[in-house]
A and B are shown apart, each in its own frame.
Chain A
Amino acid sequence: MTPTGHYGIYGGQYVAETLMPALQELTAVFEASRTDPAFLAEFHGLLRDYVGRESPLYLARRLTEHCGGARVYLKREDLNHTGAHKINNTLGQGLLARRMQKPRLIAETGAGMHGVATATVAALLGLRCEVFMGCEDIERQAPNVQRMQALGATVTPVSSGTATLKDAMNEALRNWVATVRDTFYVIGTVAGPHPYPAMVRFFQAVIGEEARRQILEKEGRLPDAVIACVGGGSNAMGLFAGFIDDPAVGLIGVEAGGYGLATGKHAASICAGSVGILHGNKTYLLQDDQGQIRNTHSVSAGLDYPGVGPEHAYLHDCGRATYCTIDDREAIAAFDLLCRTEGIIPALESAHALAEAIRRAPTMRPDQILVVNLSGRGDKDMDNVTKARAALAGKQGAA
């Protein structure tokens, strides 16, 4: 990455002038904090005592047996406080907000996990919090709405556009433009204008750093590949960060294939998109030939986003990471399999990464190792899984 936040041709700061001074201030504070021992001590202290880190790296024996090939390890981010990896980042950004004396946090959320994690940190640090959430997502993630409200946050429904994550992000940016003097915008993924992609990666890198140390302890060697789902890509970037300098370790990002790439109803920005500019950064987008952003679909609200973090775009182009897709049906099958073989209910987002591991493991030798980021737990998804099963059964009936 260059000092101006460019990853090759990707990244950058494509925002309205009103936000530029705030981004420059944030960049300066982040750069100073990332090497400040006092800041890091507080951050890591809270990760340990409040979030419950480190999260286990768990050998999924029965899943491995079922697949019949490579050993599959799960990085248990689902066991973090609030149930997903999102809290690593919101804690870091919340501490920065306090340092910058901004009394108010805003956030966008899709599945609601980032909204919950932001509301949680706001309560912890005594800050006000407003979360923007698409009307459609409010409906499909009702329990998370109640959690945010219980934590004292205001949840503001967004009905513009497609009423999903990208529109929530538009609305959060609009709100930030108007409130930038007293408000800190907590972006939930490794996208957005610089310094967000670098900053979110920095706070999520704890996932990969732990996983690397843990696998060396358990196996005495590095994994053959690490696998994570990619919406905006924060849990993937966090895991990749620990292994990016180990060229022998494959980095595999799994995008949401939705109803299948051929149907056009998916959220696979890298695998089926083209380069463009949205939400402050240049990256791969799902757009039409006129540069209008396309509607996306995924059974998992957290992956239902038409862009992807700029570093992922860069890693794809230079070949360091490989990106593939898992469709709704495969994700649900992986969800079911993990529930039954391991007694772990994964988030539907994480089930995409799991499905890719299930596909690959049988083609590998038993002495090979895969590490899957189990980025979140699936309690929030029970209703969705039931509905998605019905929808897929309907599609199959019609086909």
Chain B
Amino acid sequence: MNRIDAAFKACRRDRRKALVAFLTAGDPDLDATAEIVPALAAAGADIIELGVPFSDPMADGPTIQESSQRALATGTTLDGILDCVRRLRRQTQVPVVLFSYYNVIFRHGLDRLTAEAAAAGVDGLLLVDVPLEELDEVRPSCRQAGLPLIRLVAPTTPPERIERICRDAEGFVYCITVTGVTGARAALPADLEAELARARAASPVPVVAGFGIASPEMARTVAAHADGVVVGSALVKCLAGPGGRAERIAAGAAFIASLAEALRPTGGNA
């Protein structure tokens, strides 16, 4: 069984919802990423999404834009990120999904990247700007490498299209919770439940919800209707907070621990 499936199986066994943690690889540098990922896994992150920094992150709000700029400023490259994953695999078996804009992958070479990523210990690939219509271009390389291609569903996706996106999904389905770019929000839309229900009904794999989730309370509310939640910008903010490297990692881990706690069966009663 691959690491993603195993992670969701463990969650079901423990009767809890999965916690997916997004961070930008290389923010502020890849040595930090190699330290942060095991700390987040130990604090309760079930799956790690490693964001590949891009100069023009069109789907991202200010938090991840700035994070990407910091990562690029220290010379983060795709080769460096794959090296980092190889290092991580000596310490942790937490599933790692590469989360990228297509251009960086395309420039590296799709066949080359998927093969190298799978060999390095990457468990899935998510391309934020490759919708269903362009999926055939990337699917063969991912299949060849045995790398699940994670699909996205949005609040604007009509029901019939949710069905088409989800029916042969692999790894997990990522449901975008808000009509907008990434970034922490104060509240989530009311029609989210219906979107999640449709995706779960259509998908053979677990469905997680992300974009905008900023607190344990929000995580718990959303998790009631999904198999897991993704936290991104709020974590990236924590990891870029005040103090030195050790304090920032501790703050990120503490935030993850609070979210993980909220996703346990008795979570949030305190």
Contacts and interface: CB of A to CB of B under 8 A. Distances in A.
Nearest to A166: B56
A206 to B, nearest CB: 30
Contacts of A289: 107
A14 B102 contact: yes
Contacts of B221: none
Interface size classification for chain B: 35 or more
Question: Which one of B54, B156, B158 has the highest number of Cβ atoms from chain A below 10 Å of its Cβ?
Answer: B156
B180 A278 contact: no
Contacts of B128: 16
B129 A277 contact: yes
Interface string B167-206: 0000000001001110000000000000000000000000
Interface string A274-312: 111111100001010111110000000000000000000
Interface stretch (A137-145, A174-182, A252-260, A357-365): A174-182
A178 B181 contact: yes
A291 B106 contact: yes
A16 B154 contact: yes
Interface stretch (A18-26, A31-39, A261-269): A18-26
Contacts of A277: 101-103, 106, 129
Given A178-B181, A289-B107, A291-B108, A16 B56 contact: no
Interface stretch (B117-125, B131-139, B230-238, B254-262): B131-139
Contact of A291 (B104, B134, B165, B179): B104
A4 interface: yes
A174 B156 contact: no
B158 A21 contact: yes
A12 interface: yes
A170 interface: yes
Question: Which one of B101, B132, B153, B154 has the highest number of Cβ atoms from chain A below 10 Å of its Cβ?
Answer: B154
7 nearest A-B pairs in the assembled complex, by CB-CB distance: A291-B107, A178-B180, A18-B154, A291-B104, A292-B55, A17-B154, A17-B152
7 contacts: A4-B133, A12-B134, A14-B134, A17-B131, A18-B156, A18-B179, A277-B106
Interface of B: 54-62, 65, 72, 77-78, 101-108, 128-134, 152-158, 161, 165, 176, 179-181
